[in-house]
Structure 1
């Protein structure tokens, strides 16, 4: 008998994943009140240096881009800086937030594996002077999509 024909099926293209900001895991202890989810503004607030983690499920192995929609308060001419990690592996060591209104910042995530992961976003350069200025950092959205 003739061999059965082989039908090649393309793997499905992963669709963009929007991370649920309400699921954040933040610091505990004394500084915990400086991090959280602001329901009224639909954003994560970070009022001091530190990191928050967000659960993320990746459907297939591959190269991805994380788009972080972020904003900051300006303090004494300085804007917020942040880093991004996937499972404790730094994918962006220092990104400068350039606007007080939400703006998208794209970070490359090469060679990501399928499965459950944690995206960590750390606020790096808090600055505060009572009655003068207070640098704060806000995350308005996180989306993962296949790299182009």
Structure 2
């Protein structure tokens, strides 16, 4: 079941990248996923349409045993370049508490277009190339919709 969920997530990521105008298969291949691994029958990730609304996502990456340091160094090295990208409102690296190899990136982009440019940008190409053999699988990406309530600044990412 877990493999089916991961495969559906991969297909959803591929579709999202294609919707953004990028080459999803090329980006996924950097993480060891081939187009043959994808089909259009299922998908867990929503189709996100371009618009002026901010986009929030959480990307989780799991390092292969022995690759934890490489993954952390690669991700932290990319932070300054990503922070300088147009439309980057938040790009914050965290580690899952109690682990050494589970990394969580909390991202907020000014728009779907800004996220699309990031996904196709130089920093992501470099990260993908460096981590192609270091991750246990493709990143698990979860897109979030805010539920407005309370203080607008404290109540949303």
Q: TM-score, normalised by structure 2?
A: 0.39
Give the number of the structure whose alpha-carbon radius of gyration is greater: 1
Q: TM-score, normalised by structure 1?
A: 0.41
